[in-house]
Structure 1
Amino acid sequence: MTNRLTKTLLALAVAFAMPAVSFAQDTCSNRGDLDEQYCDDNHDLTADTPTDPKKLKTPNTLVFTFTPVEDPAVYDKIFKPFTDYLSQCTAKKVVFFQVQSNAAEIEAMRSGRLHVGGFSPGPTNFAVNIAGAVPFAVIGDANGYQGYTLNVIVRKDSAIQTMEDLKGKKVAHTAPSSNSGHMAPVALFPALGVTPDKDYKVLFSGKHDQSILGVNSGDYDAAAVASDVFDRMVERGVISADNFRVIWSSEKFPTQDFAYAHDLEPNFRDKMLQCFYDYRFTDELKKAFAGADRFYPINYKKDFEMVRFVARSAGESFNRAAYDKQNAGKK
């Protein structure tokens, strides 16, 4: 009886002590929209590097990817000279991890299976808050970073001439988390005389290339797409620009950014970043990215403010609750 009573009292003591221990360990002074396992004590809106050395990673194999705006296999091939260079520069094996969706890319970094990769502007906010991604570069050249516009495209022979002509039409958006493919249209179109999901039903295509191909085939009357994706498809001969008209274009947004996992060991991380910044694109990469020749340094807090503004204007947030709601039923 005495032994059982002692064990019961010990178990209760541990149970009551656990919340206090957890509370004592949580010394984070600021998180913002970051998930609970991250901290932003320096208020730069990204996850801080862990202070516990045991939580830092120096991977033997560095896993890299690029946002799935088009067929992932295309970018696996295009980035092959770069991943070979990165392997030599970091003295690590580098593999290109093909992802099929923005959610899959975010989950890969959150779970530690992805160390560095290119993200689309809209999903970048989720990657930062949910996966601990830290954006560090975009495509650019010596004069600055490369941007893109939100374009509304129609077939050349379409009767649609103005934004108000979209009313009642089949208009493709890409995905709920996409900046140019959904959030920017929701935020910007009402001032142009047309409100998505009121004046026309939003049809999600899944990706920019699918929206573009859908307009080309007549499946959609119009589509909101990123100009850089459209231009790359023209460059590769997938579509002909002569088959389309652009009825409206936005101001410039930052294009796909590159982000690393917040828990990379600092010395290794800094060496890897320098490898990125020193690299100059092959002719094939230059062609794929409209003449850009390098990874141009950025600051997430400053350079992505317009993307976050569009999201807020569209009533979007990028916390865990919003992420889970958006991906409910997709698994």
Structure 2
Amino acid sequence: MKRITTKIYLAIIFLMALQTSAQISTGTGGAGSLLPNNPTTNKNIGIGVTNPKGKLEIAGFPAVGQTYTFVDDADSFAKSILLNIGTLRENSTATGGYRLLTFYDIPPSNISGNARTMLAVEDRNDANRLRHTAITNGESLFRLSDKTQKNVFQIYEDGTNAFIDLTKPGSYLTVGGIAVWPVAHNFWVKTGTAKFDNNVFIDTNLCIGTSSFTDGATTYKLSVKGKIRAEEIKVYNTWADYVFSPFYELPTLNAVETFIQKNGHLPNVPSAKEITEKGLELGEMTKIQQEKIEELTLYLIQQHKEIEELKAQVKALLIAK
């Protein structure tokens, strides 16, 4: 009964202090640690600070620039915690009674030369869900994690570079709106435009004006539905110089004529029906056209030789007369 009375008494003193102007010293505990602010007109609550600037102000390690000594990294966190709010986590015994929301202000020490802060939010299964850390004169990190504590979203900067990571395969980023499930694209600009002032590297397939990058059994790296305008297009392909090989069988003109009469197009050239249905392979078609140009050149050379031979024969006949 005496213990209950003492607790009620302390609670009354604490509430009275809050209603006037109070600070809570970091010295001895109990009612003696409730002291008036300086000045007493300050109505805020301070813990370890006599003139709190906010409704609640909590002081960390008082000495700036001093290096503290801790047993290990866990000890530095345990002695530097300023906020410990919410339900005790599942393994609170193992972690020393930590709760769901914690904030640490860790001074320079034998463990780490630079001071650092950390804000952490855990769930009731003691899984970290949000963490922000900042190292004095060093890097900073903001991270969201899932129920298994796997990284979901992370922003990290090292003073020179900044990195944003969406680490899960099922990650989606929508700009200019909210995507409704099922989301069509992992990255989606719904309004406005996207501009790249530097190089863009794509290791997969790119579609413009279409959602399909296949044509039959063929997959194309770039698929465009619409007109393409360019100053120059460079195509890598094989070429038709095999026509000039001594082993190339140049078809006779009679054979070419027969083929045209039967099929309505040149040998080895796609028909109009094939082009309409399957499209035009630019590199392959250019090679075929070159093949026909080189064949035509050979025909002209043959005809030139025949004409020269006929001219010589005619000349010989005229001289004989």
TM-score (norm: length of structure 1): 0.19
Structure with the largest fraction of helix: 1
Structure with the largest fraction of strand: 2
Larger radius of gyration: 2
TM-score (norm: length of structure 2): 0.20
